[in-house]
Structures are given as structure tokens and as C-alpha cells.
Amino acid sequence: EVQLVESGGAVVQPGGSLRLSCAASGFTFDDHPMHWVRQAPGKGLEWVSVITWDGGTTYYADSVKGRFTISRDNNKNSLYLQMNSLRTEDTALYYCAKDRAKFGELLSFDYWGQGTLVTVSS
């Protein structure tokens, strides 16, 4: 059974930093690209970032480019999101999601975690 468990969400002040983690199990982690997707309270889904199977390529939404860094440790079956210079508009539930495709392709998000809540407030 595929499981994705996020952690690291917290209340942080504007300008602060936070590191999110996602522990994956139940599939061959290093076969698949992995994503972060967020959802502000009462709002829709917003894609944040993706990292390819080997960590060699990353892409970001314009709204987080230069502030957030995605990474992965295939030895630990873990995905991370380093969030710096946080803004109030970054307040959201952050989901870790597995890509259905393998290796270099990007397709769709076939498994999602339960999310971890990040609140940016003074």
C-alpha cells in the first residue's frame, strides 16, 4: 500500500523558514518524480514544485521560485521542501504527491499524503 506522510508544518512568522518532510513507502521511491502541492484554506489546489526520480532536475511555480527548494533522499525514501522568506500568502496545507509516471516523465499525481499545515502569521 502506497503511503505518503508529511511532517514539519508549523506556525512561523513572515520572513521565517521551515522544512517540510514526506516519508514514502509502498512503492519504488526512486522510480518516480515527486511533487509538492498546496491548498490555502478554502481555496483550490496550487502546484508548488517537482523533483525528478534522481533529483537531477527540479521545477518550481513562479510564486515560490527563489524562496523554496525541493530535494529528496532516495536512500531514506524521503522528500523535502525547504521554505525560506515565508510570506502570509504561503499559508496552506502542503501535500506531498507521487507522480504516476516514471523517471523523466511528468504526468499526474496518483497518490497524495494527508498534508501538513503551514501558517505564516505574526
Would you tell me which residues interact with other proteins (CB under 8 A)? 35, 37, 44-47, 50, 59, 61-62, 95, 100, 106-110, 112-115
CB within 8 Å of 112: residues ≥ 6 apart:
4, 37, 95, 96, 97, 98
**Looking at beta carbons only, is 16 or 59 nearer to other proteins?**
59
| C-alpha 104: how far from chain center | 18
Q: Rounded distance, CA 26 to CA 29, Å?
A: 8
Nearer to other proteins, 16 or 21 (CB): 21
Nearest distance, CB of residue 68 and other proteins, angstroms: 14
CB of 93 to other proteins, least distance (A): 9
